[in-house]
Amino acid sequence: MNRVYSKELVQAWKKALIDTYGFEEYMDFLIQPTITGSKYLTYLPMLNYTDRTSDQVSDLLELAKDQNYQIRTLNPTYKEFKELDTVTLRILLKTYDEEELIKSYRKLAQRSIKKDRKNNKIEIKIDHDLNLFYEMISAMYKDHGTPIFPKQFIINLHKYLDNKIHFYSFVEDSEVLGSYMVFIDNKILTFQLGGILNKFKKRHNGYYFQHKIIVDIISKYDIDIVDFGRSGYNSGTYFFKTRFGAEPVKIDILTNHQKNVYKSYKLAAEIWKKLPKPLTDLIGPKLTKYLVDL
C-alpha cells in the first residue's frame, strides 16, 4: 500500500496547472501566489500526494528552505492516527470478480449495492459531457463550502492525461444524481473528486456508484489498488470509504507553516456555503489560483 504516482502523472498534472493558472516553475516545484501577496513553492496543488513518499523529499526540503513551501507526500509507515489527520483510503484488490468484490465490502455497502442493482432506471454515462460534469461538480463544491477550480483545469487534465482520466455521471429520468472524476496511474485507480448532489444524498447511492466505477475500470485496466481519496481521519467521508474495506494511509502535508487543513477552513467553508451560487461561480475559479491547501 506504499505505492505512489508515477513521475509521468506528476508532470502531466503540472502541465495542466500551468496551462490553467499560468504558474511558474522552480526546479520540481510550482510557484503559487497567495491572497496576501506572498508566494509558495508547492508540490503539488490539487493532487492529494505525488510521486514520493515522506522519506524521499530531503532534496525538496533543501531546495525550499528559508521559503514558504508545501509538499504533499504519502507516509505509509505512519500508524498512530489521530482525529482529522489527513489520510487517503485504499483497498488492495484481491479479485476482479464482481460478486467476490462485493463480498469484501462491509454489510452496509453490500446491502446498498444490492438494493440499487435492482433499479433498472439508473444509467451510467462515461466521458459524456465535460460541461455537464463541471456543472455537477461545481454544485457539489458549493454544497461543501469549497471554491471550484476553472472548467479549463478539467479540460487540461483531459488533454494531458488522455485515456488515464475518466468522467462518470449517474442519471435517472434524465436527472444527474452524482458525478465522479477518476484517473488511473501506476496500477492505482484514484477517485479524485465527485459525489452525490445534496438533494439525493438520503438515497445513499454512493456505494453503488463507486462500486460500478471500480467494476468498469478493472474490466479495462490492470489495477492493484483502489484509492478513494483524501479525508480527515474519523470524518464522515472517512467512515463511508471504510465500508468498502478501505484502510487509511497518512498523507503528509509538509510546510513551514504547520496547520490542520480541516480545522483551518471550517469557518471559511460555512461562509462560502451561504454565498449566492452565481457569486461563487464567478469568484471561485479565480480564487483557487491563490489557495495553496486545495
What value, to the nearest 5°, has the Cα angle with vertex 166 and ends 261 and 179? Answer: 65
Q: Which pLDDT band holds residue 59 (cuts at 50, 70, 90)? A: very high
61: preceding bond cis by omega (within 30 degrees): no
Between helix 130-144 and helix 277-287 the angle, nearest 10°, is 100
Whole-number Å distance between alpha carbons of 270 and 124: 32
Question: pLDDT averaged over the chain?
Answer: 95
pLDDT confidence band for 68 (50 / 70 / 90): very high
Average pLDDT on 1-23 reads 97
Strand ordering across the sheet containing 24-26: 24-26, 29-33, 39-43, 69-75, 247-255, 86-92, 225-232, 188-196, 175-185, 165-172, 122-126
* Top-tier CATH class for 7-290: alpha beta
Rounded Cα–Cα distance for residues 37 and 40 (Å): 10
Model confidence at 264, pLDDT cuts 50, 70, 90, reads low
CA-closest candidate to residue 254, choices 58, 83, 81, 79: 58
Using 50, 70 and 90 to split pLDDT, how confident is the model at 247? very high
pLDDT at 266: 78
Q: Is the pLDDT of residue 238 over 80?
A: yes
Q: Residue 106 above 60 pLDDT?
A: yes
Q: What are the grid coordinates assigned to 239, written together?
A: 467512515
pLDDT > 70? residue 259: no
* pLDDT over 60 (residue 262): no
What is residue 1's predicted lDDT score, i.e. its pLDDT? 78
